Amino acid sequence: MTGKVRVTGPIIREDGMAVVAGAAYDAGPWESFAVAEVGAAAALSGLLVVAASINIARIIELPTVVSRLGAALVLFATILIVGTILLVPDQPGWLVGVRSQPLGWPPPWECSACAVPAPPTRPTG
């Protein structure tokens, strides 16, 4: 038999370990989900940019709002990029992982550009 063989259940190796292969590792069935995620992330990113541009003077006055705006844009952009990677046709599952893995590091909450500064302390006494 020539061509690819699609395995939809676990494969039991000689050492007794089960190796799972199936739809979770195939990007094809996730296409409609990725389209919805890319559309939603793009729309929300656009709305966030428009809202920020309308209120830019007030936003710049508050450093915590600026950093939160940056963090929100980073998160929406990450969803947009991963969804777009998932939509590339006929790529193997390992390539989807290789392309999307760098987006998970560093985590957005550890990104220095997106860090929310601590609120100023009030003098006691």
Statement: the pTM of the whole predicted model exceeds 0.85: no
Cβ count within 10 A of residue 7: 11
Per-residue pLDDT of the chain (125 residues; tens, 9 = 90+): 455 656 555 666 677 766 665 555 667 777 889 899 999 999 999 999 999 999 899 888 888 888 889 889 988 998 899 889 888 888 887 888 888 888 776 655 555 555 555 666 676 65
CB 38 within 8 A of CB 87: yes
Q: How far apart are CA 10 and CA 19, in angstroms?
A: 5
Give the side-chain half-sphere CA count within 13 A for 122. 2
Domain ranges of the chain: 28-105
Q: 116: Cβ–Cβ under 8 A, 6 or more apart, which residues?
A: 64, 67, 68, 71
